[in-house]
Structure 1
Amino acid sequence: MKAIFAGVIFCCCTLFILFFTSHMTLDKSSYFQPLAWRFPLCTAYLTNADYCQKCSLRNLDHNFKEQLRRSLSNTSLAFIGDSRIRHMFAYLRSLLDGRHVVLKETINDTLHWDEPRQFQLSFYARLYPDTAMRALVREWRNGTRPLPHYVIMETGAWTVFRYGEAALPEFRRNLTVLAEDFAALSDLTTVIWIRTLPINPVELAINTQWSHRRNADVLAERFGRVVEEVARNAGIVLWDAVYQDSREYVHMYKDVVHPGLTLLRKAICQLLFALDTGSCRCSLSGSFTKIFNDVTFLN
């Protein structure tokens, strides 16, 4: 009798677990980018800031070295933009090297080769969506510069700072042309745009360098909406989760325009899981509690 009772309990528990996990896992196919782009992404991590809770502020991935191997081996990644995306580049490079984060180390165009993972990481300093950025895209298209598997761009802050609202129409025109250039590479690479990140209104109010542009936080939102609109119209993958986090946790900025280290590691976490297409399905297994204890962070 005890054996029969135990068997019934086991079957009931098994059915409950299967039912529960089926509601916790999502259809993988609906979270991939459109097939127009060359290399796959699990876009759920780029559109939902806390998808699967793997990159939430309380539950950052505990096995980051393994995630670096799974996401980056035998691939290449390029960041394009100003100092805000340069900080993402610097943060990811520090994780690859297992060294201190030095955000201001890289200013000009930089290429980093990671031998153990056969991974190439690059940064291109392009402050505006102008002819200089288009020239870079043309070099990729013409084959005069090696084309990375993934290209990530963020722009807008410098246009707000130097030119203000008057530059918005030209900003839109330049972005539209740039989107067309990127679209011509769709069978060769995957392009990701980040909506213009927010500006910290508290720091903005007291920073003397921004005294001529006290409405910069409002303008950044307007420029960001243009980036989002152009990206969606062109079918470019939009990494909106990093914008969501920056807006919600703007008090975690280190100054007027730069997200702090906590937001940077959250963003890189999202990116790495997005690149690992095997991570699209949420699961109940694993405990995500350790927060990058294998690297020391410095401002």
Structure 2
Amino acid sequence: MDWFYEFPHMNDDSLRSLKKAIDEGFRAFTRGYGDAIEGFFSPLQHFLIAAERFMTHTPWPIITLIVLAVAWGASRSWKIVLSCLVTLLAIGYFDMWDDTMRTISMIFVCTLLSIAIGIPIGILMSRSDRLQRLVNPVLDVMQTMPSFVYLIPVVMLLGIGKVPGLIAVVIYAIPPMIRLTDLGIRLVDKDVLEAADAFGSSSWQKLKNVQLPLALPTIMAGINQTIMMALAMVVIASMIGVQGLGQPVLKAIANQYFTLGIFNGLAIVGIAIIFDRVSQAYGKRLQKHREIVHG
């Protein structure tokens, strides 16, 4: 009756051999193609370094004015602009400015990369039910896989540094971008598409002039979620050399520095609130514009 209480499993030797074969295969792939893959991501590294240098070397009043201008342009709300100013001044006052700028540059590059990859995949999914059925399980795995697991293959391929951390963050944060792009385009009113067809619009014109503008509020919600997930990954990415607010938090955990951890954690929360409020306000403005157009 032992079979009734114990789940049947592979023979220990077979399981060990299978794991060993997979590990050795991945190591061989890393040895054979690691340099080529590293070279492929070299432009991304230069872009990330340039973004970080701009954020950390530009005087703080200029960075503050840029952030406030973006917040006003997106939200048209003095409350949001004022809350951004207070948050940035508090971050500077508590001596977390440089780490915050490094984190913002990382989130900026991650978001651009997620948009560049996610929107085209979302568009393709919206045009093919078969592709949607194939991609959705992959996105499910990406969203439910523990975030630490992403670090293993990335570090084995590229080592420790900014780019591996960036790739791990993008893999973790991109699913909402893809899903909500797909959803936004599928939710476009069929009558509007029929009207575009009646005017002789090509598929590209219909996508560029009708579907994407009308799906933009939903796509903005995807960008918002991508930014939030990227920020959630910042502390974990610091384990493989990503500089920013995550490293002091990691140091605080290792050395039991309570105030260091709390202050840097609150700085991450402050950035998250800024990104969230600004992107949500912009999404609402787009939504109102769409309702006026439809009305």
TM normalised by structure 1 equals: 0.25
Higher share of residues assigned helix: 2
Query: Larger RCO: Structure 1 or Structure 2 (Cα < 8 Å, ≥ 6 residues apart)?
Result: 1
Larger Rg: 2
TM normalised by structure 2 equals: 0.25
